[in-house]
Structure 1
Amino acid sequence: MDALNPQSGLKPEADLVQDLAKQGLAKQDLAQDLDRRARRNLLLLACCQAVGQSCNTMMFAATGLSVITFYHHPEFANLPVTMQHLGVMVWVFPAALLMQRVGRSIGFRVGSLFGMAGAIIMCTGLYTANFMVMCAGGLILGYAVACLQMYRFAAAELVPIHYRAKAISWVTAGGVAAAVIGPSLVRVTHDLVMPLYLATYAAILCLHVIVFAVMSFITFPSVAASTAASGTAEAAAPPCPLWVIASQPRFIASVIAGMLAFGTMSFIMSASPLAIVGCGFPHAEAHWVIFMHVLGMFVPSFFTGNLINRFGATTVMAWGVGLMLAGVAAALAGLTEWNFRIALTVNGVGWNFLFVGATTLVTTCYRPNERGKTQALNDLLVFSTTATSSFMAGFLQDRWGWHPLNWFSVLLMLAAAAAVIWLRYQRPTLSPAH
């Protein structure tokens, strides 16, 4: 691992590994330590990821189709989803700084409370056919999503440094269950009561209650213990200014790659239900395509961490860019059910490679006492992209159509490729494991 920006005072990962070795912790001992102390927490956190991501999947699948049942401006059908992304931008710094002060456990449960409130508001907006209330519900739900996106950083804090990539990947893999839970609940609930999708938002409320309960059983490191984990000298050092951390080439390139990965994925995912129904296919087909997409997003997480350790993060990220471009090619090849299914599935796999790789690199750019503001800045930038892309998806799908929208995605992926190339040649990436 290359040394970080000298101004930041951060240690390269190789030095951290050497520090652990000096303390008498061999790799085999770390594996046993992980078995004893972290596997249970990672499993429970993955369960929370599964349930929380299900809520997010249900929002993507249901919102545009529920809005057009009463609001006859399809170009704005995804605005509540956009408001959710804007909510992430509004809430991400308060949420991250709250966790820095009181710890992950309380912070994540506050997120679940916001999720419950947001779901209730969404139900109210749909029941009263009030578009602005639904947008307000999306804004409140943004706090819950901001917390959900921090699960991957919390996973890295639960394990020794050797296992960061794997821990991030394992917890992200909780989305595999979300690929089943979310679309299945939408299929079951979308016409359970009237108006359409009212029961879907009620189900989101129940899922946030489950996350709140499960989160109570996870043992996170205390704030003091997490800060001290970096060593006495680093724990005593004052945190660097955010601009110093953010000026590192590795941080800049990693965040750009993460922004474009999530933005492009959100762009395609948000537009696809409207495109599918617009081509004359039933709502059930849109639910099935979202299921395959989410499955593609999270199944690779079972091995993405191993791929990063073996080949390096930038190599895996480059594969992700290539796969997302392949998904666009499938979408441009035709308008059959299988074009949509293949395009969205491959898009999801590409997102996983690109985003998990970018997240892994971001976790090497800060000390524990700098994590709150650094993670918040990362997610603020990522969700500024997704907010824009989710809104533009409905607008461009209505004005341009499915094929021009996918051609526009090619430009985003070319920008992501430039970020990965810059990262690869400006700074060496994570070294392959030996």
Structure 2
Amino acid sequence: MTRQTTARRNIYVLTTAQALGAASPPIIVSLGGLVGQQLSEDPALVTLPVSLFNLGLALGTLPSAAVMRRFGRRSGYVLGAGFGIASGLVAAFGIFSASFLLFCLGTFTAGFYAAYVQSYRFAAADAVEGEMKARAISAVMIGGLIAAIIGPQIVIWTRDALPQTPYAGSFLSQAGLALLALPVLLMLRTPKETAALAGAGGGRSLGQILLQPRYMLAVAAGVVSYGLMVFVMTAAPIAMVGHGHSVDQAALGIQWHVLAMFAPSFITGRLITRFGKERVTALGLLLIAVSAVVALGGLALAHFWISLVLLGIGWNFGFIGATAMVTDCHSDAERGKAQGANDFMVFGTVAAASFFAGTLLHASGWQTMNWLIFPAVALVLMPLLLVSGRSGRALRAR
């Protein structure tokens, strides 16, 4: 089997695994705060289960990278699916036993699974070269489009499947999705030369990689695009229900949001090839700012849904563009360090944003949350525009 054939096969495998693995976060985001309201006596802690999911994701990034360097991507991904199965079962048992602590443990464990799922995009990029990296990343992220349908629909179909314990059925289904991912992940075939390089030492130190201005900008773009998305998405279902909208409407709002997160992946790789990574990333950040403008326009269901859709599209352009920028900043021997550090910083910030979201929503409200988007976007957008301007002049000079 040629390297090109293997790469194509792996992209199909990873896209399918993404469809199953990325369905878990919409379940947790849609129901985590609502279960928190049901089980927690402190209103300030209702979004803690979602925040702990993001904390588990952040804390899992470096260990998952180490596991994959030592044992290979396939073995690591199988272990990650095991975390996914355990997380759904523990969360469901927490609901059965009315234990907020156990439920939080389940969502925290789900974060470890998500740490492996998030690296699927890098696994796809590893086997291809040059501009094809952005397209490989986009192709795998299309699996999230299927997840955007699966996750929220599971919430709607199964949240009352066990009448005495609302929402438990959805978390049992989450465990089932991870179980289905196991045989898919076993089909992954990492090319021998890629496996060798992934485990190889050498290259620059992590400190030297971190000091690259382009790497720092790529990480900052990923931090802002993903951090703001989670900051708003964590609070959105609670805000919708709190302003008179139904649980099903909140779940559908998250579904449209997640669809918008992944649907542009059909064209994002081509846009990056045509206009450059920095410009597409900058466009994503601008759309995130526009989503805040819409959210500040009112509290009708349309305001919530349109804002969430724009937020999802902005995340897609911003995050895929930032990921593609990271792949330009390291050699094959350095990629484990560079990719792991990037994900640790991105998802560490995501975890902090998620924790802050619940407290801020309770203390200051939905409008305040959206006002905070503008300074964060401006902080990264200006250097991105400067770099994209220089890149554009360089391309025209060739």
TM normalised by structure 1 equals 0.86
State the shift of 1:227 in Å.
Answer: 4.4
Shift of 1:70: 2.4
User: Please, which of 64, 71, 74 is the counterpart of residue 102 of structure 1?
Assistant: 71
2:185: which partner in 1?
A: 215
Quick check: 1:44 aligned with 2:13?
yes
Over 3 Å counting, the alpha-carbon distance change for 1:237 and 1:198 in structure 2 is closer
Q: How does 1:270-349 map to 2 (within 5 A)?
A: 270-349=234-313
Deviation at 1:345, TM superposition (A): 0.2
CA distance in 2, matches of 1:431, 1:114: 46
Structure 1 window deviating more from structure 2 (236-245 vs 53-62): it is: 236-245
Q: What secondary structure is seen at the aligned counterpart in 2 of 1:365?
A: coil
Please tell me whether residue 263 in structure 1 is matched to residue 227 in structure 2: yes
- The 5 A counterparts of 1:105-144 are 105-144=74-113
- Match status 1:414 vs 2:378: yes
Change (3 A) 1:265 1:419: farther
Structure 1 residue 431 displacement after superposition: 6.0
Question: 2:143 — aligned with what?
Answer: 174
- Which residue number corresponds to residue 243 of structure 1? 207
Residue 400 of structure 1 aligns to which amino acid in structure 2? S
Instruction: Specify whether residues 340 and 225 from structure 1 end up closer, same or farther in structure 2 by C-alpha distance, changes over 3 A only.
Output: closer
Partner of 1:365 in structure 2? 329
**Structure 1 segments unaligned to the other structure (5+ residues):** 1-31, 230-234
Q: Which amino acid is 2:63 matched to?
A: P
**Amino acid of the residue matched to residue 318 of structure 1?**
A
CA deviations 1:14-42 (Å, max 9, x no partner) are: xxxxxxxxxxxxxxxxxx974x3332321
Task: Indicate the residue corresponding to 1:187 in structure 2.
Answer: 156
Q: How far did 1:73 drift?
A: 2.1
Alignment check: 8 A CA contact 1:50 1:175 kept: yes
* Equivalent position amino acid for 1:346 in 2: L
Letter in 2 for 1:359: T
Displacement, 1:140?
1.8
Which residue identity is paired with 1:136? L
Secondary structure (helix, strand or coil) at the match of 2:11 reads helix
Deviations 1:229-264 (A, max 9, x none): 9xxxxx998222100111111110000110011100
- Tell me by how many angstroms 1:161 deviates: 3.0
- Note if 1:205 corresponds to 2:169: no
| Partner secondary structure for residue 273 of structure 2 | helix
In 1, are the aligned partners of 2:200 and 2:333 still within 8 Å (CA)? no
CA-based RMSD of the aligned residues comes to 2.2
Give the partner amino acid of 1:135.
C
Alpha-carbon spacing, 1:274–1:236, altered in 2? closer, same or farther (3 Å): closer
CA contact (8 A) 1:254 1:419 kept: no
Identity %: 36
Is residue 345 of structure 2 the alignment partner of residue 376 of structure 1? Answer: no
Aligned with 2:320 (options 340, 353, 356): 356
Shift of the 83–206 alpha-carbon distance from structure 1 to 2, 3 Å rule, reads same
- Segments of 5+ residues of structure 2 without an aligned counterpart are none
Task: Quote how far apart the aligned CAs of 1:317 are.
Answer: 1.0
Q: Secondary structure at the match of 1:68?
A: helix
CA deviation after TM superposition for structure 1 residue 43, in Å: 1.5
Count of aligned pairs = 395
Task: Mark the CA change 1:372 to 1:431 in structure 2 (over 3 Å): closer, same or farther.
Answer: farther
Q: Secondary structure at the match of 1:342?
A: helix
**1:431 & 1:74 partners in 2: Cα distance?**
54
Work out whether residues 105 and 218 of structure 1, in 8 Å CA contact, stay in contact via their aligned partners in 2.
yes
CA offsets 1:202-245 (integer angstroms, 9 cap, x no match): 011001111111101121223x544459xxxxx99822210011
List structure 1 segments (4+ residues) > 3 angstroms apart after TM superposition. 224-229, 421-432
Give the residue type in structure 2 aligned to 1:112: A
